[in-house]
A = this chain, B = another copy of it.
Amino acid sequence: MSGPKTLGILGGGQLAQMMAQAAKPLGVDCVVYDPSPDACAKSVAHLVNGSFDNARQLRSFAELVDVITYEFENVPNETVDTLDGLRPIHPQPEALKVSSNRVTEKAFFESCGVPVGPYRAISGPESLRIARDELGLPGVLKSNSGGYDGKGQYTLHTDDELENALAQIGNTPFIYESFVNFTRELSVIACRTIDGITVTYPLAQNTHQHGILVRSDAPATVQMNMTEQAHSAAKRVGDTLNYVGVFAIELFDVGGELLANEMAPRVHNTGHWTIEGSNTSQFENHVRAVMGLPLGSTEPEGHSVMLNIIGEMPNPDILKGISGATLHGYGKAPRPGRKIGHITVNGPDRETCLGTAKQIQSGLRNTMPGGGVRP
């Protein structure tokens, strides 16, 4: 095999770990860059340890590799600036910007002809009141960028909750989204080559609990036109961004119409099932795409159910006597709400897999972050 041989990955978590594992059989070595000396990917890849603003370390990292990619989307601008021009970077850093701002992201979907749920950009009290009048309650107010912390996200059922949020947000940019009455959460994993070929995996059907993905199940049972909607959305998004590598689009199923919720410019948790459940995993295809290798088939093999292991590892005997299930431990320290492993169940059909998954789930000790939910 000719061509580049070493892939540099910004970030050394479980996504980098699984990417490096997929790269090895292709003859591609990986080097990960992470601020933590304990980054879990170091078990399978060479680790360069440095902060994302350490230009000298970043340059040393670049010298070790032929191509650079990411395992996460919040790469600081200065990191990109330092690396720019030293080595090819895939996907191109511009592609990360779309998903770093919720309003930009929705507007981008719309500009590609991909339908989204009702939303308004919020710049302060007046625009929030107008949004409430136009879209109604209930809804969710989210800060445009960043996170799921107490200050950044408000579920609004009543005008009191709206006024309370107003007293806290000031004139910072937010997005207001109406509740979408969806019956399922789906996602599509896509991979696009340097030559502009886009392949997609069968849709995954996803289950969240307290805002954290707990289960993905694929291929989802869908009508043909839903597969087409998802593929066409991915194709348009990938082409518009001139994207290279794997990305995911989360979708709401509203009576058979798919609305895009958000995109992730990287390999995705709802694609972990592809390691055992598909001819070529999302990780292998990502490595293939960014290294300029031909993509592998995205055909599924039977049915897969992936269960996340959150907060705490289960008893190691959890899979004793259960066939067709694979445990992935990332080697990360336990902490409530943290994804530290996953289990994939494979079988001939959905019913069989869900039955096995249920048996396993009763033995999981997942611990979620604190904070209750209210109706």
Binding site for B on A (CB under 8 A): 139-140, 147-150, 153-155, 157-161, 163-168, 170, 177, 179-180, 182-185, 205-211, 214-215, 217, 336-337, 354, 357-358, 361-362, 366-375
Contact = CB atoms under 8 A, between A and B. Distances in A.
Contacts of A155: 373, 375
B160 A215 contact: yes
Contacts of A368: 149-150, 371
Nearest to A117: B375
B179 A362 contact: no
Contacts of A166: 358
A163 B375 contact: no
Contacts of A158: 182-185, 207
A208 B370 contact: no
Contacts of A369: 150, 369-371
B215 A164 contact: yes
Contact of A371 (B182, B370, B374): B370
Contacts of A159: 183-184
Enumerate the 10 nearest inter-chain pairs by beta-carbon distance, A residue then B residue, closest first.
A148-B372, A150-B368, A371-B371, A369-B370, A211-B372, A167-B361, A369-B371, A160-B207, A167-B358, A211-B374
Contacts of A358: 163, 166-167
B211 A180 contact: no
A372 B153 contact: yes
B167 A209 contact: no
Nearest to A364: B168
Contacts of A211: 371-374
Nearest to A125: B358
Contact of A374 (B149, B154, B208): B208
Contacts of A140: 373-375
22 contacts: A140-B373, A147-B372, A148-B371, A148-B373, A150-B336, A155-B373, A157-B182, A158-B184, A159-B183, A159-B184, A160-B185, A160-B205, A161-B207, A161-B208, A163-B207, A164-B209, A164-B361, A167-B362, A168-B362, A211-B371, A211-B373, A370-B371
Contacts of A167: 357-358, 361-362
Contacts of A209: 150, 154, 161, 164-165
A339 to B, nearest CB: 14
B370 A153 contact: no
Nearest to A161: B207
A247 to B, nearest CB: 21
A215 B366 CA distance: 33
Nearest to A253: B158
Contacts of A148: 371-373
Please indicate which of the listed interface residues A170, A180, A374 has the most CB atoms of chain B within 10 Å of its own CB: A374
Nearest to A170: B362
Given A147-B372, A167-B358, A373-B373, 7 more contacts: A149-B368, A150-B336, A160-B206, A161-B207, A164-B214, A177-B375, A369-B369
Nearest to A361: B167
A140 to B, nearest CB: 5
Contacts of A217: 160
A159 B221 CA distance: 14
A354 B207 contact: no
Contacts of A161: 207-209
A375 B160 contact: no
Given A180-B375, A362-B170, A375-B140, A150 B205 contact: no
Contacts of A182: 157-158
